[in-house]
């Protein structure tokens, strides 16, 4: 990834945002498609893969572990897998760039393979905690050596004869759950994960898609997942839907810029990922879902967003797992809503690419919006008559914060700049060009 900063500024467009667009493929599903393809027998074909920096790091890691990963001219990706337990020791350090998802899920794969590997990442990823996956994964017999707090660089000695795990995730985390399940693939018996709140279930869906036996039991607001270990995963084609987290940015832009109407095609509508759509609907957003269908085991549809007034609400804490990546852009929507919006239970935002809770509050405050943090709650005082803007936002190497600030600038009275937009490509390659096609004004400073 380039280390050169790319400042960018967003101004209120001359007219409404319009168009029919497609956002890049779902990042969570893209990571998993490459990983499960590498663990399957045969060749998996993947279409719609997100070709952002984060996912490309996963592709490189799978190659380094012995899978054959190729990219056809038509955009199709092919993964010739090694089978469960068949990965080989990498010859060099695995550099996961900025991707916490890739790093944590890969820890699960490495833990139950009898090999030695070292993993690192960029400055942002090296500051993020890995203890949350290291602690449960040591139970399979793996050993980890890391910096203070379980931070990268991280050395892994996988278990010679991995043991199945039985783990209750202390806080909702699809990454921790998935790491434990990936570890359990190469262990005999049943690996069991209990989560207190249901989190995105792409791993469970994809495990079934590749032929594993997975049982899910609802327990209150949470779930118990049981995976039968050492299956023979069989290569299966994967169609990656549009990422709902990426769709959130043009969607909110359309809601805030007067006269706008935008259709985003082929968006993933997994019910454990649609918390933002539910929240915006409660705020009175003019949203419509068209052409609903199922692709690759995941629900998909076209989302039509039309400008209109928004009203403040209280977002319950139990909704956080279904929209954890969307709170910065929701805060932008709340800045343009009538009333005071309270988003509750955002502790998980403190350990993202940046401390997203503090960084989101700082973004709004710098641009003239009254905002408060009370415990793990974010409180935004809406300014439907016009949000001021005018500041330069420090992005902290956080792609979602950068995109949220730029969307803010489209709706603000004064231009909003970001100190660095280079990291947007980790999750949304082509973001600037796509927004400009809709009628936005994003230009270098």
Per-residue model confidence as pLDDT tens digits over 104-150: 999 999 999 999 999 999 998 999 889 999 999 999 999 999 999 89
d(CA 79, CA 43): 5
- In the structure encoding, which two tokens stand for residue 232, read together? 């023979």
Res. 2: pLDDT tops 60: no
pTM: 0.85
Per-residue model confidence as pLDDT tens digits over 282-339: 999 999 999 999 886 789 999 999 999 999 999 999 999 889 899 999 999 999 999 9
Domains in the chain with CATH codes: 8-25+241-444 (3.65.10.10), 27-238 (3.65.10.10)
Helices and strands (H and E) in the chain: how many: 13, 24
Q: Taking the CA atoms of the chain, what radius of gyration do you get in angstroms?
A: 21
DSSP string, 53-81: HHHHHHHHHHHHTT-EEEE-TTS-EEEE-
Q: What is the mean pLDDT of residues 46-67?
A: 96
**Among residues 325, 398, 420, 425, which one is catalytic?**
325
Per-residue model confidence as pLDDT tens digits over 403-433: 999 999 999 999 999 999 998 988 899 999 9
325 in active site: yes
CB contact set of 228 (below 8 Å; sequence gap of 6+): 190, 212, 213, 214
Q: H or E element: which one contains 268?
A: strand 261-268
Structure confidence at residue 3 as a pLDDT band (50, 70, 90) = low
d(CA 125, CA 411): 31
Structure confidence at residue 348 as a pLDDT band (50, 70, 90) = confident
Q: What is the mean pLDDT of residues 71-85?
A: 97
Write down the pLDDT at residue 426.
Answer: 80
Contact 307, 258 (CB under 8 A): yes
CB contact set of 128 (below 8 Å; sequence gap of 6+): 100, 151, 152, 351, 352, 353
d(CA 337, CA 308): 10
Structure confidence at residue 353 as a pLDDT band (50, 70, 90) = low
d(CA 161, CA 141): 7
| Helical H segments across 314-420, by residue range | 327-335, 356-366, 399-411
Write down the pLDDT at residue 294.
Answer: 86
d(CA 96, CA 58): 7
Burial label, 161 (beta-carbon count in 10 A; 0-12, 13-18, 19+) = exposed
- In the structure encoding, which two tokens stand for residue 322, read together? 């279904």
- DSSP letter assigned to residue 296: T
Contact 250, 435 (CB under 8 A): yes
Contact 68, 79 (CB under 8 A): yes
CB contact set of 74 (below 8 Å; sequence gap of 6+): none
Average pLDDT of the residues of the chain:
95
Helix (H, G, I), strand (E, B) or coil at 246: helix
Per-residue model confidence as pLDDT tens digits over 156-212: 999 999 999 999 999 889 999 999 999 999 999 999 999 998 999 999 999 999 999
Name the percent of the chain lying above pLDDT 90.
89
Res. 440: pLDDT tops 80: yes
d(CA 34, CA 56): 10
Contact 129, 151 (CB under 8 A): yes
d(CA 136, CA 119): 18
């Amino acid at each position: 990834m380039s280390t050169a900063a790319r400042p960018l500024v967003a101004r209120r467009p001359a007219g409404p945002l319009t168009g029919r667009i497609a956002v890049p493929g779902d990042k969570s599903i893209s990571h998993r498609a490459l990983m499960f393809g590498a663990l399957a027998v045969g060749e998996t074909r993947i279409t719609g893969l997100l070709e952002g920096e984060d996912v490309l790091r996963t592709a490189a890691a799978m190659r380094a572990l012995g899978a054959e990963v190729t990219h056809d001219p038509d955009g199709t990706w092919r993964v010739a897998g090694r089978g469960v337990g068949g990965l080989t020791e990498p010859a060099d350090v695995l550099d996961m760039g900025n991707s916490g998802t890739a790093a944590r899920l890969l820890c699960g794969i490495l833990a139950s393979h009898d090999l030695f590997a070292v993993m690192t990442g960029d400055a942002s990823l090296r500051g993020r905690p890995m203890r949350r996956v290291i602690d449960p994964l040591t139970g399979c017999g793996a050993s980890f050596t890391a910096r203070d707090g379980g931070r990268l660089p991280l050395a892994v000695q996988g278990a010679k004869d991995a043991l199945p795990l039985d783990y209750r995730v202390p806080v909702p985390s699809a990454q921790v759950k998935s790491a434990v399940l990936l570890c359990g693939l190469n262990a005999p018996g049943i690996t069991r994960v209990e989560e207190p709140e249901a989190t995105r279930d792409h791993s469970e869906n994809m495990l079934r898609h590749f032929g594993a036996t997975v049982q899910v039991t609802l327990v209150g607001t949470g779930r118990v997942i049981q995976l039968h270990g050492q299956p023979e995963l069989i290569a299966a084609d994967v169609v990656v839907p549009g990422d709902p987290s990426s769709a959130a940015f043009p969607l909110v832009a359309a809601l805030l810029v007067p006269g706008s109407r935008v259709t985003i095609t082929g968006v993933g509508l997994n019910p454990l990922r649609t918390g933002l759509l539910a929240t915006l609907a409660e705020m009175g957003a003019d949203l419509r879902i068209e052409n609903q269908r199922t692709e690759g085991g995941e629900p998909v549809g076209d989302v039509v967003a039309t400008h209109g007034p928004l009203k403040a609400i209280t977002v319950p804490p139990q909704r956080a797992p279904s929209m954890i990546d969307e709170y910065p852009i929701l805060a932008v929507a709340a800045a343009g809503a009538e009333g005071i919006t309270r988003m509750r239970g955002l502790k998980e935002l403190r350990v993202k690419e940046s401390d997203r809770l503090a960084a989101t509050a700082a973004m709004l405050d710098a641009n003239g919006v009254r905002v408060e943090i009370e415990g793990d709650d974010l409180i935004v005082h809406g300014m439907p008559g016009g949000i001021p803007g005018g500041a330069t936002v420090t992005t902290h190497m956080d792609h979602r914060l950068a995109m949220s600030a730029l969307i803010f600038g489209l709706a603000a009275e004064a231009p909003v700049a970001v100190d660095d937009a280079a990291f947007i490509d980790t999750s949304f390659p082509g973001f600037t060009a796509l927004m400009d096609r809709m009628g936005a004004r994003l230009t270098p400073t």
